[in-house]
Structure 1
Amino acid sequence: MIVLENITKEFISKSNTVKAVSNVSLHVRKGEIHGVIGYSGAGKSTLIRCVNLLEKPTKGKVYINGEEITPLPLPQLRKVRNKIGMIFQGFNLLKTATVYDNIAIPLKLLGYDKNEVKKRVEKYLEIVGLTDKHKSYPNQLSGGQKQRVAIARALSQEPEVLLSDEATSALDPETTDSILELLLKINKELGITILLITHEMNVIQKICDHVYVMENGEVVEENTAINLFTKPSHPTTKKFLNTISQRNLSPSLISQLHVTGAVTRLTFVGESTGKPLLAEVSQKFDVQPNILTANIIELKNGIVGNIVIHLVGEKNQVQSAIRFLEEQGVGTESLEVHS
């Protein structure tokens, strides 16, 4: 549905050239939700604006539903953009227009008749749960309600693709969750393909099928969400994961727990998360598992469990226990301990 091939975007001034995006390629399949995550300045906002050519790439090609749109003249590009909805962090609502008119005005400008405008506004206000707010003005709404209006406005043109530019970063955690649930509903019930950018790992966790990690204008790692959470390889990815799951043991924790010797991170995926494998280990081998940290992460398409354990016992018994866990489908990673 969305294909970017070797996209590079440079901003050129008299004094210097800034390469905001460097040779990025991605492929978002129809009906999926893909997320691009990165810290401020990573280039993700520029990248998503290249999808609908709000930013024209310096190099590379953009395909929407199999059609290359990069060379299209403006009149044809406008037609393509009608099938690409976009929502923003700042909502971009008209302050002097009602909720109804914020959704209706773009439709009127596109030439839809009065009856069709009314039909679409009512339909998408119902989908986002704001039917009773159609006469309200933006300053009478909460942040979450404003974003729902912005989503209804984007949906009213009945796009095939929805782009989300940090749509939840200005919202509190509870409201963020409700907006993410709405995006999941839109994806599932309307079949709309979604590409979002974010700097929040919990957004990726809750709704994404596939993830791209950006740093300094480049994609440094990409994978399915479940594989990324299970086997992250790049330091930036691991840093993001540490915001929702304690992957690193602090020196103070090591000191308080008096940990010495082998410390191992265990990663459980799917069915293995429900098995009492640590109990089996203590029965089969002469070791004592000491759990230091543990959590379960629920993803859109699966469950990932992380447990950091200190295995107390003879070296050969510890090694045998770890081999047993690996044979049961558990991922293992030895951690360095600096007391």
Structure 2
Amino acid sequence: MIQLENISKKYTTKKGTIEAVKDVSLHVKKGEIHGVIGYSGAGKSTLIRCVNLLEAPTAGKVRLNDKEFTELSKAQLLAERKNIGMIFQGFNLLKTATVGDNIAIPLKLIGVKPSDIAARVDKYLEIVGLTDKKNAFPGQLSGGQKQRVAIARALAQEPDVLLSDEATSALDPETTESILDLLLKINAEFGITILLITHEMQVIQRICDHVYVMEAGEIVEDGPVIDLFSQPKHKTTRSFLNTISQRKLSKEFVDNLKKTGSVLRLTFRGEATGDPVLAAVSKEFNVKPNILTANIMELKNGVIGNLDVHMAGEKEEVARSLAFLEAQGVVIEDWDDQYGKN
């Protein structure tokens, strides 16, 4: 559905050349929700604007529905963009137009028949739950309601693809949850493929099938969400996960505990999250597991449990207990090696 191949984007400034995106490739399959996460300045906004060529890449290829966008004429590109909806952090609503007109005006501009416009406005306002706000103005709406109007406006074009540029970052947590629920509903009911960018790991956790971690213009790690959440490899991924999974033990605290045993990160996936394996460890082996932090994360496609544990005991006995845990499907990482480096 969406294929970016070796995309690069450079800007020339008075101070020299800035490479905002560096040789990035990604593939979003039809009907899936993929997320790109990165800190400010990582290049993710530039990347998503390359998808519909709002930013023309310096190098690389952009394909949507097997059409090579970088080879289209201006007229052909404008026609293809009708199949791509986009929502933004700032909503981009016309302040002097009603909610209904904010949805109708873009439809007029892309040549939708006047007889169809009113029906589409009503249809998509109902989908986003704002039928009663049709004649209201943006200034009369909350932030969440404005974003719902923006989503209705994007959907009214009846696109195959929806691009989301930090669509929830200006919203409070409760409103963010409602917008994410709406995106999941849209994806499930209409089969719309969604590519979103965010700096909030909670967004990735909640709705994404696949995640790309971006830093300094490059993809530094990617994979199914459940894989990256259970076994993050890159320090930036681990740093993002710190924000939601209680990984922030101090190194001084951990070093003190390691004098009497090992400090480990145990990760449980799927059904294993409910198994009392630590209780079995304490019975079967001469070790004393002490849980330092515990966290269960519900992802779109699974459940992950994380425990930071101090395993007090002799090295040989601890090693035997860890072999037992690994046999039960538990992923074991040395805390200091993986998380003390952040």
Is this a same-fold pair by TM over 0.5? yes
Give the Cα–Cα distance (whole angstroms) in 2 for the partners of residues 15 and 334 of structure 1: 44
Deviation at 1:39, TM superposition (A): 0.4
Paired with 1:286 and 1:87, the residues of 2 have a C-alpha distance of: 57
Aligned amino acid, residue 97 of structure 2: A
Counterpart of 1:269 in structure 2 is 269
Partner of 2:143: 143
> What is the alpha-carbon distance in structure 2 between the residues aligned to residue 33 and residue 223 of structure 1?
12
Q: 1:258 to 1:269 in 2, by over 3 A?
A: closer
The CA distance in 2 between the partners of 1:151 and 1:295, in whole Å, is: 33
Instruction: Verify: 1:310 aligned to 2:310, yes or no.
Output: yes
Deviation at 1:287, TM superposition (A): 1.3
Letter matched to residue 286 of structure 2: D
| 2:50 equivalent in structure 1 | 50
Contact 2:260-2:313 within 8 A present in 1 as well: no
One-letter identity of the residue aligned with 2:121: V
Residues 288 and 14 of structure 1: CA distance in aligned 2, closer, same or farther (over 3 Å)? closer
Q: Which moved more, 1:84-93 or 1:112-121?
A: 112-121
- The residue that corresponds to 1:182 in the other structure is 182
Q: 1:252, 1:126 → 2: CA distance? A: 55
Equivalent-residue separation in structure 2 for 1:252 and 1:317 (angstroms): 25
- CA RMSD, Structure 1 to Structure 2 (Å): 1.6
Q: CA deviation at 1:261?
A: 2.3
Q: Which residue of 2 aligns with 1:295?
A: 295
User: Within 1, Cα distance between the matches of 2:253 and 2:136?
Assistant: 52
Matched letter for residue 266 of structure 1: L
How many angstroms apart in 2 are the aligned matches of 1:301 and 1:244?
17
CA distance in 2, matches of 1:169, 1:231: 26
**Structure 1 residues 140-149 or 67-76, which shifts more?**
67-76
Partner residue in 2 for 1:203: 203
Instruction: State the match for 2:215 in structure 1.
Output: 215
Distance 1:188 1:112 in 2: 25
| Cα deviation digits, residues 89-129 of structure 1 (max 9, x gap) | 00000000000000011111222233210110111001100
Separation in 2, partners of 1:180, 1:197: 13
Partner of 1:226: 226
Find the residue that maps to 1:336 and give its secondary structure: helix
Separation (CA, whole Å) in 2 of partners of 1:41 and 1:162: 23
| 1:334 positional shift | 1.4
SS in 2 for 1:116: helix
Partner of 2:112, secondary structure, is coil
8 A contact 1:259–1:310 mirrored in 2: no
Match of residue 4 from structure 1: 4
Q: Find out whether 1:36 has 2:17 as its counterpart.
A: no
- Secondary structure (helix, strand or coil) at the match of 1:189 reads helix
Match of 1:73 in 2: 73
In the alignment, the residues of structure 2 paired with residue 263 and residue 15 of structure 1 have an alpha-carbon distance, to the nearest angstrom, of: 47
TM-score, normalization by structure 2: 0.96
TM-superposed deviation, 1:12: 1.2
Residue 14 of structure 1, CA deviation: 4.2
Residue number in structure 2 paired with 1:330 = 330
Output the amino acid matched with 1:163.
Answer: L
Residue 283 of structure 2 corresponds to: 283
Q: Which amino acid aligns with 1:63?
A: R
1:18-69, CA deviations, whole angstroms, 9 ceiling, x for partnerless residues? 1000000000000000000000000000000000000000000000011111
Pair 1:61-2:57 in alignment: no
SS of 2:261's equivalent in the other structure is coil
Structure 1: unaligned runs, 5 residues or longer: none
Q: Residues of 2 paired with 1:245 and 1:284: CA distance?
A: 29
Given that 1:160 and 1:193 are in contact with CA atoms closer than 8 Å, whether structure 2 keeps it comes out as yes
Q: Which runs of 5+ in 2 are unaligned?
A: none
User: Do structure 1's residue 132 and structure 2's residue 154 form an aligned pair?
Assistant: no
State the secondary structure of the residue aligned to 1:7: strand
Deviations 1:227-264 (A, max 9, x none): 00011000111000001012242146548979742111
The alignment of Structure 1 onto Structure 2 pairs a total of residues equal to 338
Once residues 312 and 256 of structure 2 are traced to their aligned partners in structure 1, the CA distance between those partners, rounded to angstroms, is 17
Partner of 2:93: 93
Q: Distance in 1 between matches of 2:111 and 2:299?
A: 42
Q: Which moved more, 1:300-309 or 1:255-264?
A: 255-264
Distance 1:211 1:15 in 2: 33
The answer to which of 104-113 and 164-173 deviates more is: 104-113
Task: Find the aligned partners of 1:281 and 1:90 in 2 and give their Cα distance.
Answer: 52
Pick which of 23-32 and 274-283 moved more: 274-283
